[in-house]
Amino acid sequence: MKQSEFKKRRKQLMQRIGKGNLALISSATTHARNRDVNYPFRQDSDFYYLTGFNEPDSLAVFIPGREQGEYILFCREFDEKKALWEGAHAGLEGATTHYAADDSFPIDDLNDILPGMLENKSKVFYPMGRDLDLDHKLLEWINHIRRQSRTGITAPGELVSLEHILHEMRLFKSAEELKLMRRAASVSAAAHVKAMQKCKAGMYEYQIEAEIINHFLQDGLRAVAYPSIVAGGKNACTLHYTDNASKLKNGDLLLVDAGAECDHYAADITRTYPVSGHFSEAQKQLYQLVLDAQLASIDEIKPQQSMQLAHEASVTVLTKGLVKLGLLKGRVATLIKNEKYKQFYMHRIGHWLGMDVHDVGDYKINQEWRLLEKGMVLTIEPGLYIPADCKTVDEQWRGIGIRIEDDILVTADGHEVLTCDVPKSIADIEQLMQASHAARI
């Protein structure tokens, strides 16, 4: 991502904060996995969105109209020994020269310097309650200023949630962001295709996961956007199954939900296909029903429509289909009103997608479902999950779990499916899988 993009975001943020006020946000911290080993570091999405700075132990301050500079970065000082053991880090000089901070200070001096910056400011915008240490420090800094009130200095009177402003900005993806999201989507799509081609009975779920992650890594995307779900047979009925340890069997379906992260932007794709390359008749019927629901929901994605309409479209198609196939009994309207579909379709149609796989942004405004606008990205992912021990349905349906998930960009006059490169019609899936089986023989 270009520095100019981060600059543009900071400018937009400064305008929204307004002069006389201040915003601050801290970086993510490292977490120990065990002795001397940390979990892979992932920067806080909000912090990275504004700074592009990928180091822990940092804090950014934004002070619109400040004469000595509006953007101040507190970070680790350059340390040669640290560089030798852990690699490059920006240091105070790098913070200004490479990351365009107007000023930089050692993070160790935060308690000495920050209270001065808070003096005579009215509002402090910050991510309330997300970092208890920061919450605590901020109140201490404010109390420190209050104690000097007889000298005429005033302490901020209002603490405001920064997320409210920032998450609204993050909801609308710029052209630069969409470049990264398209890359995350296309690499993830290609990985799904590879997995589909490799899939055969006798493999373990983790071997399909390995195919997918191998493809991400070979393409330079080192992080998954979330732990991959590779669920054969009835494992697919566990929504967040991540054990990925069972053997794949002919006659079973395989549900794969996996996505890569590209420079902090996620893809989120699910496909479900037969281990053998052939859908059984029962699998075909349920699969086609989920696909019809997905296509009907995607059709609803356009400006001035709400995500709720897409959800309702999926509920209608699935409920009608479940009645037709005999899994639900009764009048469609009554079943929908009483939410009877929820025993087989218990999640919503999708979520915002961006830096976080379940991305930020309000879903309702003033208690009403918000309308879609150009530049928003969301997933559409209906599913059906028939528990293996469900005695109310015919045996042929039991233990089948199906989800089909794509990433959708809202455009000026409709939508674009960012993940359309992975086959999802029954004919296309069977053709791809059977061609690769034939090539193997």
**Residues with a known catalytic role:** 36, 240, 257, 268, 347, 351, 358, 381, 385, 403, 405
**Residue found under tokens 């560089």:** 83
Q: Considering beta carbons, is residue 81 or 240 the nearer one to ligand GLY? A: 240
Taking a C-beta distance cutoff of 8 angstroms, is the pair 267, 187 a contact? yes
Q: Is 381 in the site for ligand GLY (CB under 6 A)?
A: yes
Side chain identity, residue 132? L
DSSP 160-229: EEHHHHHHHHHHSPPHHHHHHHHHHHHHHHHHHHHHHHH--TT-BHHHHHHHHHHHHHHTT--EESS--E
Could you tell me the smallest distance in angstroms from the CB atom of residue 257 to Mn ion? 4
Could you tell me the smallest distance in angstroms from the CB atom of residue 147 to ligand GLY? 48
Residue 211, contacted partner among ligand GLY, Mn ion, none, CB below 5-8 A by kind: none
Collapsed DSSP state (helix, strand, coil) of residue 441:
coil
Residue 78, contacted partner among Mn ion, ligand GLY, none, CB below 5-8 A by kind: none
Could you tell me the smallest distance in angstroms from the CB atom of residue 351 to ligand GLY? 6
Could you tell me the smallest distance in angstroms from the CB atom of residue 226 to ligand GLY? 5
Find the binding residues for Mn ion in span 392-421 (CB under 5 A).
Answer: 405
Indicate the burial class of 377 (C-beta count within 10 angstroms; 0-12, 13-18, 19 or more).
buried
Alpha-carbon span 38 to 59, nearest angstrom:
21
Find the binding residues for Mn ion in span 233-292 (CB under 5 A).
Answer: 257, 268, 270
Find the binding residues for ligand GLY in span 221-280 (CB under 6 A).
Answer: 226, 257, 268
Structure token digits, residue 330: 């009764």
Find the binding residues for ligand GLY in span 276-335 (CB under 6 A).
Answer: none
Q: Is 44 in the site for ligand GLY (CB under 6 A)?
A: no
Q: Is 211 in the site for ligand GLY (CB under 6 A)?
A: no
Alpha-carbon span 230 to 207, nearest angstrom:
9
Short-list 61, 375, 387, CA closest to 236: 387
Where along the sequence are the contacts to Mn ion (CB under 5 A)?
257, 268, 270, 379, 405
Where along the sequence are the contacts to ligand GLY (CB under 6 A)?
226, 257, 268, 351, 357, 381, 405
